[in-house]
Amino acid sequence: MGLKCDKTYSDAELRNLQDALYVLNGKWKLYILRSLGQGNIRFKDIKDSMPAITPRMLSKELRELEANHVIARIHHQEDYPSWTAYEFTEYSRGLAPMMDSLISWAESHRRELFVP
């Protein structure tokens, strides 16, 4: 008989987990978050840090992150010419501990699968 999980999750908890995974799902979202974390706040700088992404895809992914309140789009009209920047929202700061936990689990998972 296999191991049994010590915790059972309600349907609402599983939906919440699915929502969280959806927000970060996609080929580019984590790389965009890393780029922002490295100080790249303008579209061109984010794009330059990820040469393989197309401008159209970057724009789409930024809009999705903005729609989920992970990042904010700030239009600086006081400068000439005006420019747009992206930054983390206060709300999104809660992602870091969760991402750290997922990274730790993923490292163990890779060792489990790929190290004899």
Judge whether 76 lies within some domain: yes
pLDDT band (50, 70, 90) for residue 69: very high
Structural domains in the chain (count):
1
Judge whether 11 lies within some domain: no
Judge whether 43 lies within some domain: yes
Reading phi first (left if > 0) and then psi (alpha if -120 to 50, else beta), residue 26 is in left
Q: Alpha-carbon distance 42 to 36, whole Å?
A: 9
Which tokens hold the place of 111? 């060792």
* Alpha carbon separation from 48 to 31, 33, 39, 52, 79 (Å, rounded): 12, 14, 12, 9, 23
Mean of the per-residue pLDDT values of the chain: 92
Judge whether 15 lies within some domain: no
Question: Each residue of 31-66: pLDDT tens digit?
Answer: 999 999 999 999 999 999 999 999 999 999 999 999
The larger pLDDT score, comparing residue 1 to residue 88, is at 88
pLDDT greater than 80 at residue 98: yes
Task: Indicate which CATH number applies to the domain containing 102.
Answer: 1.10.10.10
Range of the domain at 105: 28-110
Judge whether 12 lies within some domain: no
The pLDDT score that the predictor gives to residue 116 is 67
Question: E-strand spans in the chain?
Answer: 71-76, 83-88
Judge whether 52 lies within some domain: yes
Judge whether 54 lies within some domain: yes
The pLDDT score that the predictor gives to residue 75 is 93
The pLDDT score that the predictor gives to residue 1 is 54
The pLDDT score that the predictor gives to residue 5 is 75
pTM (whole model) above 0.95 = no
Judge whether 10 lies within some domain: no
